[in-house]
Each structure stands twice: as C-alpha cells, then as structure tokens.
Amino acid sequence: MRHIHHHAEIKCSKHPHSKVRGFVFGFFLLAAGTLLLLGNAGVIDKTLFKYIFSWQSLLIALGVIFLSGGIRKHWFGALVLITIGTLFLLDEIYTFKTGIANMIWPAILVIVGIAVMVKIFLPKKSHWNIPQDGFRGGLSEETNSEDYFDISKVFSGAHTVVKSQNFKGGNASFIFGGGEIDFRNAQLSEGTNILKLECIFGGVKIFVPDTWDVSLETTGIFGGFSDERRHLNIENIDKSRRLVIKGEAVFGGGEISN
C-alpha cells in the first residue's frame, strides 16, 4: 500500500507548466508543418525557409519553449537563447557592418544587468545551507538536506552534497555555469523519484551510490548527458527505489558517476 500511495503522490505533483510547454511545442510543430505545406504549394516563397528553418530560429524557438515552462524559473536562460538567436538571424538577413561578435557581448551584458536587478527585487529563498569549510575542486561546497530541492546556478557553480535520507526529487538548472551534485550520502524515497536537469551553456556531474537504480531520459541540442558509472553489480541495486533523471541540454550537458 505504501508503494502505491507514493506513485499517486508523484502523479499529483506534476509540474503545472508542463501542459503549457507541451502546447507551445505542439504549436511550433503545427506552424512548421503549415509553412512547409504552403511553400510546397507555392503560396509562400520557399527561399524564406533558409531563415525560418535555421539554427538561429531553433534557438529562438527553444527560448520560447523554456519560457513557457515557467517565467520566474526559466526567463534568464530563455532570454539568452532568444537574444543570441535573434542577433545571428538578423545578421544573416541584413549582414551587420559592425560584425555580430561586437553585438553579442554588449547584449549579454544587458541581459546580465537585467538579471542582477531582477534578483535584487525578486530574491529567491535558499533551499540549502552553505558551510564555512572552503572549496572542493574550485567549487564552493553546499550541503542540502531537503527531501525535494530546487537549485539554480547562473554564471556560477557549486559542489552540492545531498544528505536527505528520503530524497524525492527536485529541479536543478545550470546556465552559463556548472557544478556537482553528490548523492553518495543520501537515500532515495520508495518508488519513482524524478530529478529534472536543465543545462544551457553549462554542465553538471552527478555522483550516485552503486546501489541506486538510475535511468536517464534526456534531450540535447549541441549537448547531452551520459552514464559513466563503472563496475556496477546488478544484484546489489535496490529495485524498490528508482531515480529518473530528466535532462534538457543546450550547448551543455552532464554525466552520472559513482
């Protein structure tokens, strides 16, 4: 009975923005299909396709999709993708005399400035405690004892040691930054537990115990995730507790290690 109750709890706690993100993704597929039909029918000029179906437009579309997953959580990464995609697309169309490289860095500085001001007026509550014992491998060390955490790193990184004895999942976002998440001192809750990762121009390394049942469900654009665990004994893996890592990577990614 306890195992069944846990699955019901996971189902009810589904991210409220998932339907919006799915709708936006479906809209882009619908729009792409419609444009292709109109182009093949001769209604619109097919020479426009090199701009519409380009990697620049893909970055813009990804930014909008990320934004639909929650403005408060994803606005910065979405704005970076949309800005970079827009600048390169405009350069492709108009060929800026000043050079696109001279425009990207000022644009990024503007975005960072906005991020700093937003952070001042909309501070986020911290979900972890930062110890005073220095650094590990150049990363500040943080201890997290929450059963469900929400980690966000922008232009920074940290080595996070998770000590929860009933870990149920969480969200971790790394944008122009990176870090490590160490679960080797933690225990999973019974049933299926979901950890959502978002790496945009950043990366993460995750350490898990040899006895954990871990699976990857990831998507990547110029990036990805990999399972680098070695010398696992299948007989020692606890099948009653499972961690599902759902990752999205854009020019970044991560790996699992033991």
Query: What pLDDT, on a 0 to 100 scale, did the predictor assign at position 132?
Result: 37
Q: Check: pTM over 0.85? Answer yes or no.
A: no
Residues 95 and 136 in one domain: no
Residues 116 and 233 in one domain: no
Give residue 195's pLDDT band: very low, low, confident or very high (50, 70, 90).
Answer: very high
Q: Give the torsion sign (CA, 217, 169, 200, 227).
A: negative
Residues 110 and 157 in one domain: no
Residues 60 and 138 in one domain: no
DSSP-assigned states of every residue in 32-89:
HHHHHHHHHTTSS-GGGHHHHTSHHHHHHHHHHHHHHT-HHHHHHHHHHHHHHHHHHH
Residues 152 and 186 in one domain: yes
Last residue of a domain, which of 121, 146, 162? 121
Domain membership of residue 11 (yes or no) is no
- What tens digit of pLDDT does each residue of 21-80 get? 677 777 888 888 888 888 888 888 877 777 788 777 888 888 887 777 665 566 677 777
Domain membership of residue 238 (yes or no) is yes
Residues 193 and 159 in one domain: yes
Q: At what angle do helices 71-94 and 101-121 cross, to 10 degrees?
A: 160
Residues 189 and 219 in one domain: yes
Residues 185 and 239 in one domain: yes
DSSP-assigned states of every residue in 115-162:
HHHHHHHSPPPP-SB--SS-EETTEEEEEE--SEEEEEEES-EEEEEE
Total tally of structural domains belonging to the chain: 2
Which contiguous run of DSSP H or E holds residue 169? strand 169-175
Domain membership of residue 26 (yes or no) is yes
pLDDT for 173 beyond 60: yes
Query: What pLDDT, on a 0 to 100 scale, did the predictor assign at position 73?
Result: 60
pLDDT for 14 beyond 80: no
Mean pLDDT of 198-217: 88
Cα–Cα distance measured from residue 203 to residue 213, given in angstroms and rounded to the nearest whole number: 22
Domain membership of residue 4 (yes or no) is no
Domain membership of residue 163 (yes or no) is yes
Half-sphere exposure of 32 (CA within 13 A, CB side): 14
Last residue of a domain, which of 105, 121, 137? 121
Residues 139 and 250 in one domain: yes
Residues 132 and 201 in one domain: yes
Query: What pLDDT, on a 0 to 100 scale, did the predictor assign at position 185?
Result: 92
- What tens digit of pLDDT does each residue of 111-151 get? 666 666 655 544 444 333 333 333 344 567 888 889 998 88
Give the 3-state secondary structure of residue 170.
strand
Cα–Cα distance measured from residue 91 to residue 96, given in angstroms and rounded to the nearest whole number: 5
Domain membership of residue 115 (yes or no) is yes
Domain membership of residue 3 (yes or no) is no
Residue span of the structural domain in which 95 resides: 18-121
Selected residue with higher pLDDT from 9 and 55: 55
Last residue of a domain, which of 88, 121, 154? 121
Residues 153 and 234 in one domain: yes
Residues 74 and 141 in one domain: no
Q: Which of 205, 256, 214, 207 is nearest to 234 (CA)?
A: 214
How would you class 249 by CB atoms within 10 Å of its CB: exposed for 0-12, middle for 13-18, buried for 19 or more? buried
% of residues, the chain, pLDDT over 90: 18
Domain membership of residue 181 (yes or no) is yes
pLDDT for 100 beyond 70: no
